[in-house]
Amino acid sequence: MNAVRRGTVTWRPQPWQDRDIGLIEPLSDSDSEEEDFPDDSTTPLGDYITHGLKQLLDAQQLCDVTLLVEGKKFMCHRVLLAAVSPYFRAMFTSPLVESRLTEIRLEEVTPSVMETVIQFVYSGEAGLSLDTAEDLFVAANRLQVMPLQDLCSRFLFDHLSVDNCLGMYSLARSHHDQLLLRASLRLVAQHFPRVARQKDFLLLDHGTLGSLLSSDRLGVDSEAEVYDAARRWAEHQPLDRYPHMPGLLHHLRPGLLSQEESRRLSQELGPAEAVEGFGGPLRLREGMFEKKIVCVDLTAREDENVASRDFTVDCFDPRTGKWEKLAALSSLVSPSCTAVGDRLFVVGGILRTGSVSAAVHEYDVGLDRWMERPSMGQARAMLGLLGCGDTLYALGGCNRSALLDSILRRRLYLLGGTTLEQNRAVVHSGVLIYHTLTDCWTRVPLDSGATCLAGGVA
């Protein structure tokens, strides 16, 4: 029952509530000594509020508004929706009729998405997957639940790939998400020739396409590739899109075309279109620059004293003569590094824990970060690493307990190195040639003598 004293209401638990909060037993003599509470014994008030609100939602208590989505009803609390979302705050505090309604219909959102939005508002948690993150991102943007939009944006950023970057670029551009926009644009530009042949490229609106074609970052060897991409886009729906071609051609850079390319384009476009359309700057696209030199300090990582800290990767631009730092990679002792085309790999090595790694890391130039790729079949350090064609080969190495003699997936040359015979290392003198087509080895003598650490070329 409630007892009133001097205007203050004192709440006393009913018997049925005692089992939830527990009864306070009288102190015995042994309990009378003063005790110190641990510093971390107090639960933050925010946790109590979140837990309490979730309980009210589950029990549908004190709910004062119902959101109607495609016939499904979601009972909620106005004050919480307004506190989290400027969209709902404006709705509930404005003089509009919605501020007085107890049931509000929401369009352009599905019940499953709305259920996840409400779950996030009440708990701060949302289960994301590649199938749901994009729809949740759009709904969070529309309902102005910014923490959820940021969570979805980060998830989509972490799952960017060449296959989905074009769709992510369009999504980020239409919803003004700068983080996702910059990251997806870098990936689209880096792989523009490949991306321009995807189905999603043909679905772009002319404004988004024009924004792409104007970028300095396009990874194209020739300006004609930019024109060919625009022409393929227009030919997909010629009646609707050819009127946009003159505007798109303003982004073309005719000064970067060879004479042969200029003649071909003039023949295809005709004089009127060519005069009206061409007019872009003379700046080189990113793919037209000279290749850069990347230095990975493998020598430092062979010193186990530096195994406790990350290391940086340096990049030298021969065109400007300047160095720049790339994204850091977690420290490894005695891994191996090689490049296959414009792809940089760091493989294997000894982890900070002392265990040997089978991991394969690839540096993503567009996103400036290291991506983990499928691991080797066997953990190894101090291995030989080669690229032949589009294949990566891991040769030899050790795994703390034994020296390895296997090769993981033309012709490779392995020079010198050590082998294990009767539990002792024997230095090998000679050259081993691996024929990738016939899957066989050939031994060739090396007149210069034995060498301890193996090297290889493809």
Residue 241 CB neighbours (<10 A): 19
The answer to whether residue 236 scores a pLDDT higher than 90 is yes
Q: What are phi and psi of 148, to 5 degrees?
A: -70, -40
Query: Distance between CA atoms of 409 and 40, rounded to whole angstroms?
Result: 54
Q: What does the pLDDT read at residue 29?
A: 53
153-169 pLDDT, tens per residue?
A: 999 999 999 999 999 99
241-278 pLDDT, tens per residue?
A: 999 998 898 888 888 888 888 888 888 876 555 544 45
The answer to whether residue 438 scores a pLDDT higher than 80 is no
Q: What does the pLDDT read at residue 301?
A: 46
Is pLDDT larger for residue 225 or for residue 47?
225
Lowest-confidence pick of 37-46, 103-112, 160-169, 297-306: 297-306
128-137 pLDDT, tens per residue?
A: 998 999 999 9
CATH class for the region spanning 50-277: alpha beta
Q: What does the pLDDT read at residue 447?
A: 59
Residue 6's pLDDT band (cuts 50, 70, 90): very low
Most confident of the ranges 113-127, 295-309, 375-389, 412-426: 113-127
Fold classified for 290-409:
Neuraminidase (2.120.10)
Residue 227's pLDDT band (cuts 50, 70, 90): very high
Most confident of the ranges 19-28, 48-57, 82-91, 283-292: 82-91
Is pLDDT larger for residue 444 or for residue 408?
444
For the chain, give the percent of residues with pLDDT over 70: 69
Query: Distance between CA atoms of 43 and 70, rounded to whole angstroms?
Result: 39
Lowest-confidence pick of 45-59, 85-99, 195-209, 217-231: 45-59
Q: Where are the domains of the chain?
A: 50-277, 290-409
**Mean of the per-residue pLDDT values for the chain?**
77
Partner residues linked to 153 by β-bridges? none
Q: What does the pLDDT read at residue 341?
A: 67
Q: What does the pLDDT read at residue 225?
A: 93
Average pLDDT over residues 304-329: 72
CA distances for 108 relative to 65, 94, 416, angstroms: 19, 22, 67
Average pLDDT over residues 51-77: 86
Q: What does the pLDDT read at residue 436?
A: 57
Residue 300's pLDDT band (cuts 50, 70, 90): very low
- For the question of whether the overall pTM of this predicted structure is more than 0.85, the answer is no
The answer to whether residue 96 scores a pLDDT higher than 70 is yes
Residue 367's pLDDT band (cuts 50, 70, 90): low
Q: What does the pLDDT read at residue 344?
A: 83
8 Å CB contact between 192 and 220: yes
Residue 16's pLDDT band (cuts 50, 70, 90): very low
For the chain, give the percent of residues with pLDDT over 90: 27
Most confident of the ranges 49-58, 154-163, 434-443: 154-163
Q: What does the pLDDT read at residue 228?
A: 94
Residue 7's pLDDT band (cuts 50, 70, 90): very low
The answer to whether residue 62 scores a pLDDT higher than 70 is yes
Q: What does the pLDDT read at residue 423?
A: 63
